[in-house]
Structures are given as C-alpha cells and as structure tokens.
C-alpha cells in the first residue's frame, strides 16, 4: 500500500503537470496522454487478490500503444538531437522507458499464453518504467521552466529595448525640433545681420558722397578764396601769414576728408586688384597713424575668385582690426599678411600692443556686447562663412586670423 501511495503521489504530479501542457510540444502531449491512459488502467489491477488471474485484456493494447508512442517519440527530430555525439537527458529516459515497456510487454504475453503468475516481474518492469517516465516528466518541467525564465528575460529585454527606442525617438524628435528652432533662429539672426550690414554700407556710401559733394567742394571753394586773398598787395605780412596757415589747415582738412571718404567707401572695390587695394590701405594707415604697417600678400589666383561683397566684408574686417590696434593697443608696429593655405585665403592682422584678456574678448564677442567693432567683425565673418580667430595677450599683442 505504501508503494501504491507513492505511485498515486506521482500520478497527482503527472495530473498537475498535464494541466500545464500548454508549455510542452504536441508530441510530448500525445506521449503523456497515452501514458496516463496506461497508468490509469494499470492502477486498477488488484495484484493482492487471493484469486490471481492474468492481467485484464484491456491493459495489453494500452501497453502496445504506449510502446508505439515511446518509439515514435524517440524518432522525433524535434526531440532527439545529438550534441558532440551525446543524447539529451530526456532522450536517455525515453530509451530506458522503451526497454522496460518492452520487457513488461514480453512478460505480459508470456503470462497470458502460459497462464503463469509472473505478475511480480511485470510489476517490477512497470515500476521501473514509471520511474523513467517520472524522470522524463521532471526533465520536461525543468526544461519548460528554463524556457519560461528565458522567455520572461527576453520579454523584459524587448520591453526595455522598446522603452529605450521610444525614449530615443522622443529625444530624437525633440532634438530635431530644437535644431529646427535654432536653424530658424540663426536664419533670422543672419537676415538681421545682413540687413544691418547692408544698411550700414548704404549709409556709409551716402555719407561719403555727401562729404565729397558738399564739405569737400566747400573746402576747395574756400581755398580758391584764400589764394585770391594771398595775391592781393593790400595785405600786411601778418595777414598773409594767417592766410598761409588757413591754406595749410584747409589742405590738411581736405586730406583728412578724403581719407574718411576712402575708408567709408573703398574706391573701385569691385574692379580693383584686391591685393593692391589692401596694400594701398596699409600705406595710408601708416601715413595717417604714424605707425609702421608692414604688408605682404602672396601671389594667388584666389583673389580673382572673390566676389565684390566678399571683398567688401574682408576689407571691413581688416579695417576694423587695424583701427582697433591704433586706438586701443598702444602698439608700435602693425602688420597685414595675406597668404594661401590649403585652398583658402588667410588674412593675418597683428600688432605688438598690450592686448586684452580672454574675458574681454568673450565680452566683446557676446550677444550682449555693445562693442560694435568686434561684433561687426564676427557678423561679417559669419556672412562670409569664414573662420575668425582672435588671440590676444600682454606679451605678444593681438592677432586676428580670418580664413
């Protein structure tokens, strides 16, 4: 009875397992169903009866069907896979189960034919068969458990990746929106900068023409009157001396006005040789400031490729750099060098003055800065699509590099 109790416990385990067959392949389901039918019939046999008779005839086809299912299952490609020449653990249990089932079949046939009471041997083989089937079921349960763990881990991984993809997509969209916003902002700022620059150039041109057509012409007229007075014999020597001083002063004023006009509107910038134009500006700077201004321009075909608007912006950056050096650096020498490097024109404007600090440079280039000179240089460089680098310190002065 103790053995019967243990077997019933195993049967309960099987029934519990059979209720969870959704995790097992159909071939396993068929095998376990056949085993359940055989075991149910076998458990009804009373081997302790006083009048021992051969096993019920119904047990024979059930055992034969079980053997057929075991052998069919052992040939399944989905189940039997050899790795490094070794069968799986479940396959070994099935092989032993087939062996004990065949032994039980042989004993059962002999018992029926010879009418001998070999029930003890039959029970022994069925018990060994039961052990192998229980081991097989346990192996399948462990396999399914591992599969479910792997499935849950994979599901978690997929969920994590899905969340990561969603978050990444959201971040990508947000970044694209931010980039689009910044691009629109930059376009708007660039349009404002171009408009301001165009207005500045237009105003410079208007002022230079006004100076030329009014102030400069009035000065020439004034000089004519001075010349006529100088020719008069009625003037005393002191009066002639005063007229001479007025004459010299007006000539100097005319020269200054011409320089202002020249700086406001570079002459013939559309057609003039750009290197010669810069050289002339360096000479005028040296003459007007009294500071040596060295100039060097390497020969290059790139000068011819510059458009008039490019020439104008470059000229303004050079002009502003030299003007700042004269006004603020306390320099004793200036230089303007132009050379070709890797297919680009490099404009180097430098002085040997006192320079300025990094913080000053950041302040001067910031959006809130009111220093229109450096901001104007930056804006023009952006319009050109050029690189503008300003280096400055107390030892080497200031160097402006426009590429």
Rounded to whole angstroms, how far apart are CA atoms 89 and 79?
Answer: 11
Tens digit of pLDDT for each residue in 171-216? 888 888 888 887 787 677 667 666 766 777 677 777 877 777 777 7
Identify which of 98-102, 328-332, 348-352 has the greatest average pLDDT: 348-352
Tens digit of pLDDT for each residue in 228-255? 777 777 777 787 788 788 888 887 887 7
Rounded to whole angstroms, how far apart are CA atoms 401 and 389?
Answer: 5
Q: What is the DSSP letter of 86?
A: B
Among 72-86, 350-364, 370-384, where is mean pLDDT lowest?
Answer: 72-86
Q: Where residue 402 falls among pLDDT bands split at 50, 70, 90?
A: very high
Angle at 249 between CA 246 and CA 255, to 5 degrees: 140
- Which among 343, 335, 247 is positioned nearest to 295, based on CA atoms? 335
Is pLDDT of 12 > 60? Answer: no
> What is the CATH code for 270-402?
3.30.565.10
Q: What is the mean pLDDT of residues 104-113?
A: 72
Q: What is the mean pLDDT of residues 300-312?
A: 85
What would you report as the CA-atom Rg of the chain, rounded to the nearest whole angstrom? Answer: 53
DSSP string, 247-306: HHHHHHHHHHHHHHHHHHS-TTTTTS-HHHHHHHHHHHHHHHH-S-EEEEE---THHHH-
């Amino acid at each position: 009875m103790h053995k019967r109790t243990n077997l019933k416990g195993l049967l309960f385990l099987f029934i519990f397992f059979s209720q969870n067959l959704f995790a097992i392949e159909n071939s396993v389901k068929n095998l376990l169903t056949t085993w359940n039918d055989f075991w149910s019939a076998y458990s009804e046999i009373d081997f302790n009866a006083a009048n021992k008779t051969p096993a019920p005839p119904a047990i024979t086809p059930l055992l034969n069907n079980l053997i057929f299912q075991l052998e069919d299952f052992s040939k399944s490609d989905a189940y039997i896979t050899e790795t490094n020449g070794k069968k799986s653990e479940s396959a070994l249990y099935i092989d032993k189960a087939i062996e004990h089932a065949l032994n039980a079949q042989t004993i059962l046939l002999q018992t029926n034919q010879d009418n001998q009471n070999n029930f003890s041997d039959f029970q022994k083989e069925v018990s060994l068969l039961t052990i192998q089937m229980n081991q097989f079921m346990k192996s399948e349960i462990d396999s399914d458990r591992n599969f479910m763990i792997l499935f849950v881990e994979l599901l978690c991984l997929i969920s994590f990746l899905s969340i990561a993809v969603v978050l990444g997509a959201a971040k990508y969209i947000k970044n694209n929106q931010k980039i689009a916003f910044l691009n629109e902002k930059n376009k708007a700022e660039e349009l404002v900068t171009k408009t301001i620059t165009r207005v500045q150039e237009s105003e410079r041109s208007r002022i230079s023409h006004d100076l030329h057509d009014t102030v400069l012409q009035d000065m020439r007229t004034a000089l004519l009157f001075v010349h006529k007075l100088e020719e008069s014999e009625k003037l005393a020597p002191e009066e002639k001396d005063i007229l001479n001083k007025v004459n010299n002063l007006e000539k100097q004023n005319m020269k200054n006005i011409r320089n202002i006009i020249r700086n406001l509107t570079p002459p013939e910038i559309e057609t003039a040789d750009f290197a010669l134009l810069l050289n002339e500006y360096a000479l005028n700077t040296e003459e007007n400031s009294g500071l040596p201004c060295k100039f060097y321009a390497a020969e290059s075909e790139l000068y011819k490729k510059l458009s008039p608007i490019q020439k104008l912006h470059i000229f303004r950056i050079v002009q502003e750099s030299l003007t700042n050096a004269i006004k603020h650096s306390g320099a004793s020498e200036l230089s303007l060098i132009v050379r070709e490097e890797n297919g680009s024109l490099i404009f180097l404007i430098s002085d040997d003055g006192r320079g300025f600090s990094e913080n000053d440079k950041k302040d001067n280039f910031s959006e809130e800065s009111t220093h229109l000179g450096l901001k104007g240089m930056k804006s023009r460089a952006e319009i050109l699509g050029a690189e503008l680098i300003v280096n400055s310190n107390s030892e080497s002065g200031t160097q402006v590099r426009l590429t």
